[in-house]
Chain A
Amino acid sequence: MEIHVELKTKSKMFCQCSANYFGKEPNSNTCPVCLGMPGALPVPNKQAVEWTVKIGKALNCSINKRTKFDRKHYYYPDLPKGYQISQYDEPIAVKGHLDITFKGKDNSLTEKRFNITRVHLEEDTGKLTHAGEDTLVDFNRSSVPLVEIVTEPDFENADDVKVFLEELHTIIRTLDVSDADMEKGSMRMEPNISLSLYENKEERMKNLPKYKVEVKNINSFNFAKKAIEYELKRQAEILDKGETPTQETRGYNEDKGITYSQRSKEEAQDYRYFPEPDIPPMEFTDDFIEKVEKTIPELPASKVKSYLNDYQLKYDDAFILTRDSSLSTYYEKLIAVLSKEKQLDLKKQNLEQALANVIVNKRIQTNISEKEFAEKFIKMFARVEVDESQLETSLEKAIQENPKAVSDYKSGKTNAVMALVGTVMREMRGQADAMDVRKRLEEKINKI
């Protein structure tokens, strides 16, 4: 997989234009640097470099202490300099992994590891719009910081990919470095698909297929899954005929659910990479890397584990609560507030699970302040204050005034007691616990 994530820094990667280009009038968010004008020079955005280190660390990568930018050359009208400033042989982060928990049909949990090859920083390109015979170019997006994450070929099926992408998306959002909004294109993914018969990874890596199909224009996890499933089928059919699929770039048509050929990659493009002479190489100290690492909040997978261990939550609830860091923060704040509350009657559940149930089942909406939520929750689970003498009187009265129900119960129609429970609860104006009332009524009737 190749995943591109646009960082939400204040300014662009190499100039001071705003990195937030969305919805702006075409070419209004530009300057000589991001237009690649003569003599204009790139100056790297420190925040973007730090955030790439942050992403690298979050994906368990090792950080290259010496790293540099390179020029990647190709001609395209949305690339104003004729090259993209990217990273070639010394990316910021390398050799990481992401462990993901999968829940089986029998509710058993298994963990799979997906290895990360590299994480590097580059600049985004402009955008082309085709209008009839004309092609228009908008450079508002040109030079917005873009992080590329490349994985090893560790995916065995389309579900693997979908789960991986969802987890990665959650991590990026938790790190608060990108909107990772697929609709807006701030997270883009390109699966590279080929089929192998080797199940053992070592064997597979030694005998990689001779071709690779890259699929572009995918803007949702479901489409990624569908595009891959389509490709697996298409490629299998070709391979079964004894032929080799063409090495190419394909697009995904979401309406038809199919991929289609965009351009052949038979001749590998020569990008003529060489070190960007306008930007000196960067050297990171251990201190710097450590400081960046400290800014990483607890990541969703670890949070799931602590919810399971510390709160004894059900796996599904723990998973749902950790998909959005603002929700898990909300949840944790509520625990802090409500754990001081003594007047809650949660039956056999612990507070954490009760709260999780209410949130997950949307019994109280989470779009209100924690204080308001807590008030509603307390009302929902308020311990009932019972007036013992009034209850005792009420119980006796109900038995005496309903001899038919009593005798029905005694003759084995145990449900008859519910009528008495109703009577008592009405009498008590709800200020009693129905289960308790039933229990005590049964005890009394049995003694008669």
Chain B
Amino acid sequence: MDIFGKSLTELRDLIKSNKISSKELFSYFAKRAEKYNSDLNAYLTMIDFTDHSEGDLSGIPIAIKDNFCTQGVRTTASAKVLDSFIPPYESTVTRRLKEAGVLFTGKTNMDAWAHGSSTETSDYGPTKNPWDTTRAPGGSSGGSAAVVSSFLAPAAIGSETAGSIRQPASWCGIVGLKPTYGRVSRYGVIAMGSSFDCPGPMTQTVEDAAMILQVIAGKDPYDATSATEEVPDYRKQMTEKRTLTFGVPDEYMKGLDRDVEKKVEESLKVLEKLGHKVKRVSLLDPKYSISVYTILQRAEVSSNLARYDGIRYGNGRDAFGSEAKRRMMLGTYTLSHGYYDAFYKKAQKIKTLIIEDLKRVFDDVDLIVAAPTPMTALKLGEFEKYPFFGETMDVLNEAAAVAGTPAISIPCGLDSKGLPVGLQFMGNYFDEGTILNAAYQFEKETNFFDVLAEGRKKYE
């Protein structure tokens, strides 16, 4: 049977109608990984086939970013410090997936500790972008984006602190959804920036994203910051007939690569053609989000990495890579006596302003539309030219990250180099439904300009 390029939804139907067994499906992807992973370095650890539960996603194989603790399976967050760490517990996200019948293909490469936007800070070598293996897949969920793009897994779980789902999704030409902070439990996700971290789906279709979100969303008694808001039926919200108002922030259209800008403008025309209203809005300059995010996230990083003190997990603090060390030093500095007020406290105040700014715009529009990243995939090694590479790549992602609002990145065409360009929809708190609705309409209308088929072509 031809499985190549099938979405999660299609595979689910094949399994449900007994056209393929979960074991056959699993070994199909295992064989593909065996064939292509040495080129891509997208998987760090492969997982064997096991029995699975019966549920909404029975027998569906999904790849898991390596910062999700998986019981009995090595979990490193791509950091040598955790080289031999095998968690005796399961993250809530992977537990919920398992309970829904999902099988895990393997653990995917990422920037070490999720510190980066290119997967090049991984202590296990960079992941290559399946579109062009001389380029980076983006990051930090670069491995997850690459396995979906090259069809080494039909879908993957990523996590985002600021852009780590949306930016690699954009660079690899797939769908990446960052839910509202608190919508999905962080329990068992190796912490990066605790007040920003959001697990989310990375998929080939919008419906697949909705289906995975349905399984992983909801209050978790093991995460005090998880939200009690009821989880709606996302696929129902996705397919409702709706006419929406989109806001295009002028401040987010500046400094874009010309190809990216062009594709975003074309996408706006698609939205208008679908009968939606597109209007210009004004948001705080994204540079403020970068400053706020950098201060707060570094502070949390310096604290979250304090537990790897060399007493446990086998490797000492000298095993930290240079990016982690830089972040710890900056975070330690900003939290130090006498600097706390000037940095951390001030950043918290500006965070409040950013939230108010977004809320103000959402009084007027249903969604904000922008590019997820100012340029398409860069060459491997280029990130070294930028001291705050991640922040620069994620400039357009950080407002939603700081505010904790949901957003999606979907493919909207190719640039002149033949690389995928992403389009971003940002929504109001807990309004993943509207985001999915708009993205689904766009997908139905354009089929994402066949970007996904183009991306996996080489890996047939």
* Number of chain A interface residues as a range: 20 to 34
In the bound assembly, the distance between CA atoms of A204 and B242 in angstroms comes to: 71
Query: Interface digits, A40-82 against B, CB 8 Å rule (1 contact, 0 not)?
Result: 1111100000000000000000000000000101010100111
Report whether B69 and A270 are in contact in the complex, using a CB–CB cutoff of 8 Å.
no
Query: Within 8 Å of chain B (Cβ to Cβ): is A297?
Result: no
B225 touches which one: A71, A268, A278 (CB < 8 A)?
Answer: A278
Report whether A77 and B311 are in contact in the complex, using a CB–CB cutoff of 8 Å: yes
Complex CA gap A43/B67 in Å reads: 21
**B224 in the interface (beta carbon within 8 A):** yes
In the assembled complex, the CB of A294 is this many whole angstroms from the nearest CB of chain B, namely 27
Determine the distance from Cα of A448 to Cα of B189 in the docked complex, in whole angstroms.
Answer: 106
Contacts of B254 in A (CB 8 A): none
In the bound complex, residues from chain A placing their C-beta under 8 Å from that of B293 are none
Query: Which stretch, B50-58, B84-92, B380-388, touches the partner chain A?
Result: B84-92
- Are A272 and B224 touching (Cβ within 8 A)? no
Task: Check A39 for interface membership: any CB of B closer than 8 A.
Answer: yes
* A73 & B303 in contact (Cβ 8 Å cutoff): yes
Are A38 and B194 in contact, with the CB atoms below 8 A? Answer: no
Q: Is B316 an interface residue (CB 8 A)?
A: no
Cβ B223 vs Cβ A41 within 8 A: yes
The answer to whether A38 touches B87 (Cβ under 8 A) is: yes
Of A36, A83, A272, the most chain B CB neighbours within 10 A belong to: A272
**Residue on A with the closest CB to B79?**
A38
Chain A binding site: helix, strand, loop or mixed by DSSP? loop
Beta-carbon contacts under 8 Å, A8-55 to B: 32, 36-44
Encoded as 1 (CB less than 8 Å from any A CB) or 0, chain B from 73 to 85 comes to 0010100001001
Interface residues of B in 322-350 (CB under 8 A from A): 332, 335-337, 340, 344
Decide if A279 is an interface residue (CB 8 Å cutoff): yes
Chain A: CB-nearest residue to B313? A38
- A71 vs B332: C-alpha distance in the bound complex, in angstroms? 13
- Is there a chain A Cβ closer than 8 Å to B190's Cβ? yes
Interchain CB contact (< 8 A) of A82 among B75, B91, B306: B306
Q: Contact between B85 and A272 (Cβ–Cβ < 8 Å)?
A: no
With a CB–CB cut-off of 8 A, which chain A residues contact B225? 41, 277-280
Residues of A within 8 A of B312 (CB): 80
Q: A14 — nearest CB in chain B belongs to which residue?
A: B224
Task: Determine whether the beta carbon of B337 is less than 8 Å from that of A270.
Answer: yes
Known: A36-B307, A82-B307, A272-B332. A41 touches B186 (CB 8 A): yes
- Interface pair B306/A39, CB less than 8 Å apart: no
Question: Which residues of chain B from 276 to 314 have a CB within 8 Å of any chain A CB?
Answer: 299-300, 302-303, 305-307, 309, 311-312
* Interchain nearest-CB distance for B325 vs A (Å): 15
B-side contacts of A43, CB under 8 Å: 221-224
A36 to B312, CA, bound (A): 11
Which A residues are CB-close (under 8 A) to B68? 39
- B residues in contact with A272, CB < 8 Å: 302-303, 332, 335-337, 340
Q: Is the CB of A71 within 8 A of B303?
A: yes
Question: Which of B82, B89, B336 touches A32 (beta carbons < 8 Å)?
Answer: B89
Query: When the two chains form the complex, which single residue of A39, A83, A268, A273 contacts B189, counting CB atoms closer than 8 Å?
Result: A39
Residue in B190, B224, B332 whose CB lies within 8 Å of A39: B190
Q: Are B77 and A38 in contact (CB under 8 A)?
A: yes
In the complex, chain A residues whose CB is within 8 Å of the CB of B91? 39
Q: Judge whether B300 and A277 touch: CB under 8 Å.
A: yes
Is A274 an interface residue, CB under 8 A from the partner? yes
Contact A38 B69 (CB under 8 A): yes
A contact residues around B186 at 8 Å (CB): 39, 41
Interface class of chain B by DSSP? loop
Please report the C-alpha to C-alpha distance between residue A441 and residue B195 in the assembled complex, in whole angstroms: 93
Known contacts A37-B89, A38-B85, A39-B186; A80 and B222 CB within 8 A of each other: no
Most A CB contacts (10 A, CB to CB) among B68, B189, B306, B344 go to: B306
Which residues in B have their C-beta under 8 angstroms from that of A80?
307, 312
- A82 and B309 within 8 A (CB): yes
A residues less than 8 Å from B222 (CB atoms): 41, 43
With A38-B69, A39-B187 as given contacts, are A279 and B224 in contact (CB-CB < 8 Å)? yes
In this assembly, does B188 line the interface, its C-beta being within 8 Å of a C-beta of chain A? yes
| A274 in contact with B335 (CB, 8 Å) | yes
Chain A residue with the shortest CB-CB distance to B68: A39
Q: In the assembly, what is the distance between CA of A33 and CA of B33, in Å?
A: 34
For B88, give the chain A residue with the smallest CB separation: A32
A280 to B194, CA, bound (A): 12
Query: Which chain B residues lie closer than 8 Å to A270 at the CB level?
Result: 336-337
Chain A residues with Cβ below 8 Å from B271 are none
Q: How far is the CA of A268 from the CA of B337 in the complex (A)?
A: 10
Q: How far is the CA of A38 from the CA of B194 in the complex (A)?
A: 12
B224:A41 contact, CB within 8 angstroms = yes
With a cutoff of 8 Å between Cβ atoms, the chain A residues found around residue B157 in the complex are none
> Which one of B82, B193, B303, B344 lies within 8 Å of A38 (CB-CB)?
B82
Contacts of A280 in B (CB 8 A): 224-225
In the bound complex, residues from chain B placing their C-beta under 8 Å from that of A37 are 69, 87, 89
Whether a CB of chain A sits under 8 angstroms from the CB of B191 is yes
Min CB–CB distance A163 → chain B (angstroms) = 36
B256-287 to A contact mask, C-beta < 8 Å, 1/0:
00000000000000000000000000000000
- Note all chain A residues with C-beta closer than 8 A to B336: 270, 272
Please state if B87 and A82 are interface contacts (CB–CB under 8 Å).
no
How distant is A26 from chain B, measured CB to nearest CB, in Å? 15
Per the bound structure, the CA–CA distance linking A265 and B224 in Å amounts to 36
Return the CB mask of A278-319 against B: 1 if under 8 Å, else 0. 111000000000000000000000000000000000000000
Most buried by A among B193, B302, B309: B309
- In the bound complex, residues from chain A placing their C-beta under 8 Å from that of B193 are 277
**Is the CB–CB distance between B224 and A278 below 8 Å?**
yes
- Complex Cα distance, B225 from A37, in Å, reads 18
**Residues in A neighbouring B85, C-beta threshold 8 A:** 38
A71–B299 alpha-carbon span in the complex (Å): 11
Chain B residues within 8 Å of A73, by CB: 303, 306, 335
Least CB distance, A395 to chain B, in whole angstroms: 84
Min CB gap A87→B, angstroms: 15
Interface contact A81-B306, CB-CB below 8 Å: yes
B75 contacts A38, C-beta separation under 8 Å: yes
Q: Inside 8 A of A77's CB, which chain B residues have their CB?
A: 309, 311
> Which residues of the other chain, A, contact B299 by a CB distance below 8 angstroms?
274
Contacts of A38 in B (CB 8 A): 69, 75, 77, 82, 85, 87, 190-191, 307
Query: B344 to A274, Cβ gap below 8 A?
Result: yes
Q: Is the CB of B303 within 8 A of A44?
A: no
Contact yes or no, A40 B224, CB < 8 A:
no
Residues of B within 8 A of A (CB): 67-69, 75, 77, 82, 85, 87-89, 91, 186-191, 193-195, 221-225, 299-300, 302-303, 305-307, 309, 311-312, 332, 335-337, 340, 344
8 pairs of residues in contact across A and B, judged by CB atoms under 8 Å? A41-B222, A41-B223, A43-B223, A44-B224, A272-B337, A273-B335, A273-B340, A280-B224
Q: Which 6 A-B pairs have the closest CB atoms?
A: A82-B306, A277-B194, A272-B335, A277-B195, A39-B188, A38-B190
